[in-house]
Structure 1
């Protein structure tokens, strides 16, 4: 029932597992027995089941999908002058400035992550996870679009093509540059690139509590497809 997660365990330095709930609750006594030896277990399932099991919820992940229309291919208006959207070539060495700014944007992209929202995560799990995620994006040659003003990176978005659909992984605009059309232009560029490949769907996930992101994706035409409540269960603590 509980799946051992070697990657998370190695990254965080303690034993981590995952319990995905089906249509009904599992044998809770059996789960409790199997949970011994784990320091952290991600419990994922429909909100009602997670709550029935008594696990402490951390966040609700919302999976969204958008069908690209031709009207989505026109660049959005941008209220900031001299902001340019371009693809970042990850096969070349980045300057120290670009590396620093991209790291800041990567961490900004996960500010609503459950690993940051969980107050008991005190071993830099959030920083480790998102740094490793960026390294994976780099090594696997995901597409990366950046917004620049001069030498300053104002925002970025990463995406990949998988099974006939594009998936957005990381997406962020620095705080003081938000609300000025930069995010809309970055997303519009993704639509253009995906459509040029003959694909018409873009998927992504966000946190339901991130109202600003939910509003942004709704206005961009994304439709929610699935909600998953995620709990962080620490078997050594009562739940």
Structure 2
């Protein structure tokens, strides 16, 4: 049945829920009755189940996992004198320049997010969600690695420990600097840090439509382990699917 999401509801200002389709679509009349109390419902599950219900997909989330190899730990550090990597104390005092550049990178890290791709989300949901996500990362003291050229912040990556492995939450390189190896350097640094903490695997998620990210993770040795199709269901709209 539909799970009420208090965080999303409070953040967006309207009632939000989630419908997880694990094995089959059942009790459709009960689902339709419950759905009438929501303004937005995330429908998530295997592609066949979501399409069977008549919902229009917004995105496909791909979950990746990588086993950290020895070659990840001693990879050459190209352009060492050009790009400097360092850990950023995100919860501490930041200069105005760092604050502005980090905010730009945080928002760009979700440019393929379903909250940005959905044209009907026009109440700054994307900006609210990623800004709050960044505040959560700071409050929970996730590790943040940044890449700089001189004093200019060109990229960042955040990670934490989750379910026995490292997990990357946010990862972005400034658009004008992409394709120059900065993302690879940031990821290699995280692999080294996770391994040093005693963990052998790292995971993350991305959107299947993000071809650049998909190719990057594949070339970095990540393996896709799960795909989840996601639709945004608005029961109050006239074009909402008449599920049966």
- TM-score range, shorter-chain basis? over 0.9
User: How far does the alpha carbon of each residue in 1:163-197 deviate from its partner, in whole angstroms, 9 at most, with x for none?
Assistant: 32000000000001000000000000001001111
Query: Retained in 2: the 8 A contact 1:79–1:180?
Result: no
RMSD, aligned CA: 1.2
User: How far does the alpha carbon of each residue in 1:56-113 deviate from its partner, in whole angstroms, 9 at most, with x for none?
Assistant: 1100000000000010113455458521011101242011110110000000000000
1:228-239 correspondence runs (5 A)? 228-237=228-237, 238-239=240-241
1:73 corresponds to 2:107: no
What are the ranges of 5 or more consecutive residues in structure 1 without an aligned counterpart? none
Partner of 1:32: 32
Which contiguous aligned blocks of 4+ residues in structure 1 show a shift greater than 3 angstroms? 75-81
Q: In structure 2, what is the Cα distance between the partners aligned to 1:80 and 1:122?
A: 42
Query: Retained in 2: the 8 A contact 1:85–1:145?
Result: yes
1:103-122 correspondence runs (5 A)? 103-122=103-122
1:29-178 correspondence runs (5 A)? 29-78=29-78, 82-178=82-178
| Secondary structure, aligned partner of 1:100 | helix
Q: In structure 2, what is the Cα distance between the partners aligned to 1:226 and 1:154?
A: 31
Query: Retained in 2: the 8 A contact 1:75–1:189?
Result: no
Partner of 1:222: 222
TM-score by length of 1: 0.97
What are the ranges of 5 or more consecutive residues in structure 2 without an aligned counterpart? none
Q: CA shift at 1:142, angstroms?
A: 0.1
| Secondary structure, aligned partner of 2:17 | strand
1:3 corresponds to 2:3: yes
Query: Retained in 2: the 8 A contact 1:77–1:181?
Result: no
Q: CA shift at 1:162, angstroms?
A: 2.0
| Secondary structure, aligned partner of 1:93 | coil
> Number of residue pairs matched?
239
Partner of 1:182: 182
Query: Retained in 2: the 8 A contact 1:43–1:50?
Result: yes
